[in-house]
Structure 1
Amino acid sequence: MAVKNVALITAPGLAKRLGDDLKEELPAMLSYYISEEYEWHVELHEDPLTGGTNNSTEVLESALKRKDNAGWDYAVALTDLPLFEEEKPIVAEVFKDRDVALISFPGFGAVPMHKRVREAILQLMNEIHFGSSDADREEAQQRIRSKDNRYDDLKNKKSTRLVGKRMMEIVSPMKRETPGESDPDIVVRFTLKSRITGLMRVVSGMVYANRPWEMFAAFGKILVIAFTTGAYAFVFGTLWQLNTTYSIGRAVLMMIFSILALTIWIIMGHGLWEKKSEQSTNFIRNLYNATTFFTLLISVVMYYVILFTMFVIWTLFLQPPAQLEIYTSEPVGLATYLYTSWIGASISTIIGALGSFFENKEVVLNSTYGYRQQQRHEKIEELREKEEEEDKE
């Protein structure tokens, strides 16, 4: 049986982790979805250029060069960078007659990323193997109809669709394009139809790629300062008296203000806001800044929920109701503890956390697109210099 080698060329970070998860399960699925006539081998290769440019042509050409040099049969590049065609989000492309494809997974949105990327790889390989004309797609569709439902979690049962229909595809549908003369190098391209919902989907995918839950580990110092400040304040009567005078509307406004204030402080205090540069357009820069803001906002909300929970536990165990009734002049129940802890979390965030800095700044920087791209550019330059030195020798 002939062997077909498929290389997944990934950007560092999340793309590589996705590739690691997929390389074991793809061979059997390629046999099922494409052809049983071959033995499919899938291997993984990391390439900083795949995650170092917003130009899809550069990524495809780099993947083609690596494919030809290594002697692979097919190559699929996975990037965590957003790609656009005249500010229209690109999700995937196939290089004409080159057996090379590209996936920009922010275009899939936030979740479930693994399943969408897997289905997209299978569909692009299907496009490469069978072809992208209407007749080719009908042939591919007949093969799909002839197969059993061995892989129930593969939702894509249509040969012209990149991924199966889920809620995200209903809210922000994809469009299959065959550029033809307008872009002769691309045989098929999948984009997001609506610019507005498409951008929302891309930003959610970029936030997912930033993995805000991993960045939360850097909040240790800020959490300790805020909790210490609040725990001390709970010993006295002021916070408990606010419980009787603060309306719910005022408490909500204070919570929103404290969360936004800490988010903006982290961005400004750590230089995370992208400034104008020759390397990126205003459109890309604004996209990166929006992603940074929402990534940190999610992390700060997680911090706030944990701080609130800590205050609830602290007050329930260490503040007896009889003492609190002296401050509030009314009966104290669970609602009193919850409401006062809520107010305390907001005040502690404003007083205790603002002005604090992360001990591990690298964790925060690695969760921003601009910094990761800068690191990859530096690595690309190092590799190019190394290649030039080897050529001279």
Structure 2
Amino acid sequence: MTHSEQQRPEIVVGLVATPPDHPARVAAPLTAELAARLADRVDADVRWTVREGWGEVAPRRDGGAEALLDDLAQRRADDQWDIAICLTDLPLHAARMPLVAQTSARRRVAVVSLPALGLQQLRAARAAVPDLVSRVLTDASDERVQSAGWAPAEMARRIPAVHKVVGEADGGELSYVASGLIGRVRLLTGMVRANRPGRALLGLSKLLVGAFGTAAFALTTDTIWQMGDALGGLRLTVIMLLGLIALVAWLIVAHDLWEKPDRGTSVELARLFNLGTVLTLTLATAVSYVVLFVGTALVGALLIDTSVLEQTLQRPVDFTDYLTLAWITSSLATVGGAIGSGLENEETVRAAAYGYHPEPDGWRDEKDGQPHSGS
């Protein structure tokens, strides 16, 4: 470190991800580049030091953003950081609107709700966090940095997810909230993104294999061929939807994925968690169905000769008949897969529940520098 660098004032920024699951995946790349972004966006005459930490595996649900800010303020004081920013996957609300971020100059902390940022969460966090740091330090009258040359309301132009700012501007207790309808849609899509539906899809691998087995058996039955030919598109659509609904419902019931309101979880939060779980499982099962449909159509075209299918249906056939056959077969196999889904690994299926956060193996927190084992 050069002499000129030593003379510059140092500000230590703590970036805390809670729980250490999806938020940590956003915090890790952001931590690596945050010091440079702060120098570029806030003050180049400050020596920025960024510390990464992980919060509770199951963060407090009661108290909303205020509870998180209190916990974060205690963490900041314990670790002697100048300012702390929390990234969380908890859906938060303020003024009955989805909360994107909240700052507290008194506590010198801020929290960002990643689901409220929508799908592009890392990109939005890159834009939001430097501005939040600048806002908190300005409102806290920190003389080591230049005062932010923009009003809090300008965050609505800087961050697309932010619709307006509410709170005490003079006291530095500000809530950046999203709009009503669009904000709620963005929140739900962000929750599905944070819940990693790809992980749920991989967790249903045994189900998909079982469904393929059921479909292969059904393809050899000429009764299924005749049923597919007799049923119209409407009935086939209804059968498909019933199969997917049955699968999602069975997964939720068999693996106890439904979040129940209790003393620590409000009715509204439990409702959001359940909606996030249902949407995640619906997306995963829909993708599984598409994979099953394509595979069944290809297998049917290879195994069932056109002349045999024409003899059974007593009419000329073309490729659309194979698609119809794959349609009804995949729908019936999905029901069979729903029954077999009880054999899925409990941990992989429970990961689809939005409120479930297993402690990752070997995660390390800078608070004590020691790796923690999974529970």
TM-score where L is the length of structure 2: 0.85
Question: Partner amino acid for 1:36?
Answer: A
Return closer, same or farther for 1:50/1:218 CA change in 2, 3 Å cut-off. Answer: closer
Q: Does the CA contact (< 8 Å) of 1:6 and 1:43 recur in 2?
A: yes
Q: Helix, strand or coil: the match of 2:32? A: coil
Letter in 1 for 2:297: V
Structure 1 352/105 Cα, relative in aligned 2: closer, same or farther at 3 Å? closer
> Are the equivalent residues in 2 in contact too, given 1:226–1:349 (CA < 8 A)?
yes
Change (3 A) 1:365 1:164: same
| Aligned match of 1:152 | none
- Bigger drift between 123-132 and 239-248 goes to 123-132
**CA shift at 1:139, angstroms?**
5.5
Give the 3-state SS of the residue equivalent to 1:193 in structure 2: coil
Change over 3 Å in CA distance of 1:119–1:50 after alignment to 2: farther
Distance 1:249 1:60 in 2: 52
- Distance in 2, matches of 1:125 and 1:13, equals 23
CA distance 1:80–1:301, change in 2 (3 Å): same
Measured after TM superposition, the shift of residue 96 of structure 1 is 2.0
Compute the displacement of 1:358 (Å).
Answer: 4.0
Establish whether residue 207 from structure 1 lines up as the match of residue 192 from structure 2: yes
Identical-pair percentage? 28
Partner of residue 66 from structure 1, selected from 75, 81, 84: 75
1:321 to 285, 306, 323: 306
Is 1:222 the equivalent of 2:207?
yes
Call closer, same or farther: CA 1:46–1:163 in 2, change over 3 Å.
farther
2:88 pairs with 74, 79, 100, which one? 79
**Residue 219 (structure 2) aligns with:** 234
CA distance in 1, matches of 2:174, 2:334: 50
Amino acid at match of 1:95: S
SS at match of 2:342: coil
Structure 2 partner of 1:175: 164
Match of 2:371 in 1: none
Q: Secondary structure at the match of 2:315?
A: coil
**1:289–1:159 distance in 2 versus 1, CA, 3 Å:** closer
Cα distance change of structure 1 residues 352 and 193 upon mapping to structure 2, 3 Å threshold: closer
**What are the superposed Cα offsets for residues 180-225 of structure 1, whole Å, 9 maximum, x if unpaired?**
59xx5x522101231x443333222222111111111121221122
**Which residue does the alignment assign to 1:9?**
16
Question: AA paired with 1:160?
Answer: E
1:163 & 1:338 partners in 2: Cα distance? Answer: 49
Residue 130 of structure 1: how far off its partner (Å): 3.5
After superposition, what is the alpha-carbon deviation per residue over 1:83-112, rounded to whole angstroms, capped at 9, x for unaligned?
A: 223543221111123321111111112x11
The verdict on how the C-alpha distance between 1:328 and 1:118 changes in structure 2, with shifts beyond 3 A counting, is same
Corresponding residue for 1:380?
none
**Letter matched to residue 50 of structure 2:** V
Cα 1:214–1:201 change in 2 (3 A) is same
TM-score scaled by structure 1?
Answer: 0.81
Tell me whether 1:298 sits opposite 2:283 in the alignment. Answer: yes
Which residue of structure 2 aligns with residue 90 of structure 1?
Answer: 99
Write the deviation string for residues 348-369 of structure 1: whole angstroms up to 9, x where unpaired. Answer: 1123433531431112212323
Q: Which runs of 5+ in 1 are unaligned?
A: 143-157, 377-382, 384-393
Residue 121 (structure 2) aligns with: 113
CA positional deviation for 1:177: 2.0
The amino acid across from 1:117 in the alignment is A
Partner of 1:193: 179
Q: Return the match for 2:52 from 7, 30, 44.
A: 44
Letter in 2 for 1:235: T
The SS at the match of 2:355 is: helix
Alpha-carbon distance in structure 1 between the residues aligned to 2:266 and 2:74: 27
Aligned length: 349
Residue type of the alignment partner of 1:311: T
Residue 110 of structure 2 corresponds to: 101
- Output the amino acid matched with 1:60: L
RMSD between aligned residues: 2.8
State the alpha-carbon separation in 1 of the partners of residues 253 and 57 from structure 2: 29
Superposition deviation, residue 236 in structure 1:
2.3
* Contact in 2 for aligned 1:272/1:368 (Cα 8 Å): yes
* Shift, 1:35, TM fit: 0.8
2:330 corresponds in structure 1 to: 345
Amino acid of the structure 2 residue aligned with 1:24? A
Aligned to 1:386: none
